[in-house]
Structure 1
């Protein structure tokens, strides 16, 4: 007689298949405008930082950003889809599409990269001066965009990550509204304590979510009063940033030097920078 159990096991054995993993393409995206580039050839001389020449920082210049949440995470390339849910004590209702919600909370709906995002305007209200329009340079509508780091929130404030995610969306969406043609960015680094400096991952995501046209039209990134910290961050980032973008970075060490490059008539200088 035939053992039914043996027949069942034999049938299962005959139906067993070997699954072959599909071929995987491990190449990185190296298209124009990408942070990654295969043309790591040369960088400007003023960006070639010799580690032996860097002054040893004192206690206020220590790299505390490694442990205070401002980490060096380059692995996560996922753009921020939208700000996370507001803190539990914020009384956010989520009903308002643009303007006030039913509980009076302010929201703004923006389109970035053909994707809709909602910004909690109430939580970032004290920090809106972080990005501003500084007038124009040259001929045409070549905008001067000023990013003032001293207006950023302190990393010790409550709900810091939620705040920075909303501020991130505000900065990127504001840039798209302020720029019509070519433009330059002035990064006001002076008078900014270390605890207010954003992490590299935050800066990287800002760059990634900027429209490709805006990346291409950026003619210069001027860093005013560069600190030891910001120079070190740029030196660490060189392997991950295209040579085209690195060539756009320029350091200026005084407002007098900055005035020789761009008109200062409409650039608001914070008191902490003037000091």
Structure 2
């Protein structure tokens, strides 16, 4: 996330300097630019991404439908649910990834479990986005995840996990369990706590 913050800060300073110059105040000198850079914090970056151009609508959608907590598992660890069937179309994928990571940040400091529903997806981001997502979900996010249950895995989702897991992090891949049915999932986590998306049943 540090690289994304750096790029955002460069863009923000550039836009402000352009507006400052066009307003007839001349050009910002190096001291003014340095002062502005010091004032732009990570909290500003996070707030900007969350708010976006839509007043936070995508943020609310992601936190309610794409990635959310569904109580705790049988060992009282937070249970984070990811629904690929609810990934929105025609959005800024970089912002979408940032919002997903912001949500994960709420859980990564302690043990947690992930349940992924991969079936019923109407939209699948491309390979480039998936590769970027995996690279940004570094050890900080993988260290404390204890189980990853992939429900109704397709050949595509298995391939993705196998490639990234075995090449980048074999230890993480060992945490992945393929779950073929909801009945099987019910034996692994408290299924009654999860609001299973309708497309998963179809």
Scaled by the length of structure 2, what TM-score is found?
0.68
Give, in whole Å, the separation in 2 of the partners of 1:136 and 1:148: 17
CA contact (8 A) 1:111 1:173 kept: no
User: When you count helix as a share of all residues, which structure comes out higher?
Assistant: 2
Q: Deviations over 1:67-90 (max 9, x none)?
A: xxxxxxxxxxx95446798xxxxx
Give, in whole Å, the separation in 2 of the partners of 1:262 and 1:123: 28
Report what 1:269 is aligned to. 196
CA contact (8 A) 2:149 2:179 kept: yes
Q: Name the CA shift for 1:182/1:274 in 2 (closer, same or farther; >3 Å).
A: same
Q: Is 1:177–2:106 an aligned residue pair?
A: yes
Question: Shift of residue 152 of structure 1?
Answer: 0.6
Give, in whole Å, the separation in 1 of the partners of 2:184 and 2:134: 26
Q: Is 1:232–2:167 an aligned residue pair?
A: no
**Which structure carries more relative contact order (alpha carbon 8 Å, separation 6+)?**
1
Question: Shift of residue 172 of structure 1?
Answer: 0.5
Q: Is 1:150–2:85 an aligned residue pair?
A: yes
212-221 vs 115-124, greater mean Cα deviation: 115-124
CA contact (8 A) 1:79 1:208 kept: no
Report what 2:74 is aligned to. 138
Q: Secondary structure of 1:245's match?
A: helix
> Which structure's CA Rg is the greater one?
1
Q: Deviations over 1:150-209 (max 9, x none)?
A: 11123xx3xx4xx2111111111111124552111111011113xx12234433433443
Report what 1:256 is aligned to. 183
Q: Name the CA shift for 1:249/1:201 in 2 (closer, same or farther; >3 Å).
A: farther
Q: Name the CA shift for 1:199/1:122 in 2 (closer, same or farther; >3 Å).
A: same
Report what 1:209 is aligned to. 136
Question: Shift of residue 239 of structure 1?
Answer: 5.1
Give, in whole Å, the separation in 2 of the partners of 1:151 and 1:110: 31
Residue 192 of structure 1 is aligned with which of 115, 121, 124?
A: 121
Task: List runs of 5+ in structure 2 lacking aligned partners.
Answer: 12-39
Task: List runs of 5+ in structure 1 lacking aligned partners.
Answer: 1-77, 86-108
> How many residue pairs end up in the alignment?
164
CA contact (8 A) 2:72 2:79 kept: yes
Report what 1:223 is aligned to. 150
CA contact (8 A) 1:133 1:178 kept: no
CA contact (8 A) 1:143 1:180 kept: no
